[in-house]
Amino acid sequence: MLKCPMIERAKLSDQKEKKGFVIWLTGLSGSGKSTLADEVYDSISANGNRVEKLDGDVMRGVFPATGFTREERDAHIKRVGFVASLLEKHDVIVVASFISPYRKARRLVRDMCSNFIEVFVSVSLDECERRDVKGLYKRARAGEIKDFTGIDAPYEEPQNAEIVVDTESQELEESLAQVMEYIKQYM
């Protein structure tokens, strides 16, 4: 079968025009970040896009010496943000899911990236504690876990997130649709 060079070049140039961007999901433990990130990742990859998912629990396994003091959390987010920015520069869409409790650290990641979309996964602390599938809040309340975000370490809510999803009042499908509608402009 003969190939038409004009069509092949057109397909190649269409692929090259797709730019990478970073979707950064932030919120309390148990807010639904990872669940939503999984759905966003699946939706983006189903369309044949180059996409990579970075998850807080997975990345802590890669960087096992990462602690939970403010300085250690900031250093961890800086490392992960750098990885996200490298992927973005190579036209990969990055779906990142991290508590990332401090505005300054999230701003640092935003500054590293060309196209950064902050998604605040909003839910009350009470609801996060009710959902507590890992038992982390219970252990933090018992004093077994120190510097736990939302209990004895602060979570600084985003002030100007591009997207705010309320997983307490929205179904997963609604939150997913909200994110996918917003990112259409980047795809």
Residue 7 lies in a domain: no
Residue 37 lies in a domain: yes
- Asked whether residue 9 is domain-assigned, the answer is no
pLDDT at position 8: 43
Can you give the CATH number for the domain in which 75 is found? 3.40.50.300
Asked, for residue 1, whether it belongs to a domain, the answer is: no
The answer to whether position 4 is within a domain reads: no
Residuewise pLDDT in 10s, the chain (187 residues): 444 444 444 444 444 567 999 999 999 999 999 999 999 999 999 989 999 999 887 887 777 677 788 898 898 999 999 999 999 999 999 999 999 999 999 999 999 999 999 999 999 999 999 999 889 999 999 999 999 999 999 999 999 999 999 999 999 999 999 999 999 999 8
Tell me which residue range forms the domain holding 79.
Answer: 20-186
The type of residue at 17 is E
Question: Total domain count for the chain?
Answer: 1
**Would residue 100 show up in a list of annotated catalytic residues for this protein?**
yes
100 is a domain residue: yes
Determine which one of 29, 31, 100, 175 is catalytic: 100
Residue 2 lies in a domain: no
What confidence score (pLDDT) does residue 68 get? 81
Residue 66 lies in a domain: yes
Quote the pLDDT of residue 164: 98
The predicted pLDDT at position 17 comes to 63
pLDDT of residue 59: 82
